[in-house]
Structure 1
């Protein structure tokens, strides 16, 4: 038996210095601090190395370190605890699924996971000394996907948690790129320098339509230029495909479905509905096993529009990120949709 359940996503606006942004989030979350995520403790298999993580943040993203300092203050916890819990360094998430299509003027994707380990926060952030962006948060400072003010869009795709080494989880890397990179080439430059903890694909496009898949393991990152672009949850290059999970049939099937769908030349709203419909081969409801579609999002780099669906057969909710940047868009406090949870 399955039962219908409302999934509510908070819509968050943050502006100011990175420290102020961190402090405000800590203040907001202090009494309801994502205990479901902390309870899983992100299973580090080695003793957390606070000083190493801090040093790497200073090198690759000093602004995120400032945000963590503010977060620690807002939560009233020591900085080392904030870095351990929220920096995404040397931690592990359960397996997840994600499907992305980039063509013409849009980037559309489904994020498939469990509502029990999901921030359920859509964050509009405008730091003083970094690029403004909109995206879905994970572990507060991280992002599952997002688009920045320059029209750069990026999302993550889990591949394997084997072959790991000390490094950052993909959610933190996505956030670093949104904050610092104006285009695909800058994103490639950063993503090939930062230390990766696990095997992920990254799908990236920008204002000019330059789109790439970055197949990233801790040991090697390979760049694949593609337009149109289809990205799921397995490596395809000869150098890295031996790092795939044993079972990748579902990931291959989703890619094949999208390859066939390309012939239809879908406009943005049609593409959105192809991803968000409960009847779509791209939509899943196995939330108990960390494979249910939580959100569908379509980013438009040219006009900075965002189309969002929560759960199945949603809305859609349409936002103009450009209007928000101009101060003329009033955001709702939350958006919601329906998921089906098995009993």
Structure 2
């Protein structure tokens, strides 16, 4: 008989200047839930040079640098160690999987990884400088996916870590785009300015309805503009195919399943959520021990500025309004709970 365990995601609301935001988050990190993760981050950040990370962040996002200073102050740790652990600069990270689908103005996504390295945080952020956003965090500072107040939606898709350069993890890059860019044009320009650590796809939609996938390596970024898209974990351009992992069968198969879904199912935001979140769906994975289990399902609707969220499988969806959050009218739950298959 299958055994399930609880997956509890904290819902966090952050406001103020960048330093204050960092200081607020330091209190979360001090909780027991993050102590083990800190040990992992120390190991993963061994190759990071704090001075290089600071110089790179000063160029691409001074606000994030101030946030890290707030973190360091609240944690009463050295600035050097905190920037190494949380900036995402020149870090190593295990493979992860992500499947995204955009159609009729809705962006739906499953994030597949291990609960051991999952922040389990849905962050509502309204900084005094930069755009407000809603998104799932990674390493506190970064975002796995998110939508900002201008309707720009961005998600990351791991491709390969065998081709590496001096630069930031994709989660830091997604955070920078959400906070600094109001549309895809600005996001694509910003992507070309940021140094990239590994090979990732970035899937995006904005309020105009424009949809792109950016294939990004440490040395090159290729932009595909589409009416709708299915994005998984491999490059499709002839120029970058050689940067794919040796085996991409799973990634290709997921795209085939989505094509079938587009042809045979309705494409409302809620029906898309239910298809992705169904524990029996070919897009829902349960290999948590192998770092490939679905942790959350999310639908971002940039025209309505609404987000549908579900944790684990067959979850009860919750809908949040960006408009209400910005106006201070949104009453947020403390946590969102779901069930995932127990990794044995």
Q: TM-score normalised to the size of structure 2?
A: 0.97
- List gaps (5 residues or longer) in structure 1: none
Asked whether the equivalents of residues 22 and 70 of structure 2 are also in contact (C-alpha less than 8 Å), the reply is: yes
Q: Once the two structures are superposed, what CA deviation does each residue of 1:114-169 show, in whole Å capped at 9, x if it has no partner?
A: 00000000000000011000000000010000000000000000001001011000
Structure 1 equivalent of residue 232 of structure 2: 232
Q: Once the two structures are superposed, what CA deviation does each residue of 1:147-193 show, in whole Å capped at 9, x if it has no partner?
A: 00000000000001001011000000000000000000000000111
> In terms of mean alpha carbon deviation, does 172-181 or 46-55 score higher?
46-55
Instruction: State the 1:78 CA deviation.
Output: 1.1
Matched, 1:339 2:340: yes
Structure 2 equivalent of residue 310 of structure 1: 311
Asked whether the equivalents of residues 311 and 337 of structure 2 are also in contact (C-alpha less than 8 Å), the reply is: yes
Matched, 1:253 2:253: yes
Structure 2 equivalent of residue 276 of structure 1: 277
State the distance in 2 between where 1:208 and 1:37 align: 39
> In terms of mean alpha carbon deviation, does 200-209 or 39-48 score higher?
39-48
Asked whether the equivalents of residues 2 and 342 of structure 1 are also in contact (C-alpha less than 8 Å), the reply is: no
State the distance in 2 between where 1:340 and 1:211 align: 34
What SS does the aligned partner of 2:259 have?
Answer: helix
How many corresponding residue pairs?
Answer: 343
CA RMSD of aligned residues (A): 1.3
* CA 1:173–1:135: 2 relative to 1, 3 Å: same
Instruction: State the 1:48 CA deviation.
Output: 2.5
Asked whether the equivalents of residues 298 and 309 of structure 2 are also in contact (C-alpha less than 8 Å), the reply is: yes
State the distance in 2 between where 1:36 and 1:212 align: 37
Matched, 1:188 2:188: yes
- List gaps (5 residues or longer) in structure 2: none
State the distance in 2 between where 1:92 and 1:74 align: 25
Q: TM-score normalised to the size of structure 1?
A: 0.97
State the distance in 1 between where 2:201 and 2:246 align: 17
* CA 1:219–1:43: 2 relative to 1, 3 Å: farther
Structure 1 equivalent of residue 28 of structure 2: 28
* CA 1:219–1:29: 2 relative to 1, 3 Å: same
State the distance in 2 between where 1:222 and 1:20 align: 36
> In terms of mean alpha carbon deviation, does 33-42 or 326-335 score higher?
33-42
State the distance in 2 between where 1:188 and 1:123 align: 24
Structure 1 equivalent of residue 291 of structure 2: 290
Q: What is the correspondence of 1:1-343 to structure 2 with a 5 Å cutoff? A: 2-32=2-32, 34-41=34-41, 47-263=47-263, 264-343=265-344
Instruction: State the 1:27 CA deviation.
Output: 2.3
Asked whether the equivalents of residues 137 and 143 of structure 2 are also in contact (C-alpha less than 8 Å), the reply is: yes
Instruction: State the 1:320 CA deviation.
Output: 1.1
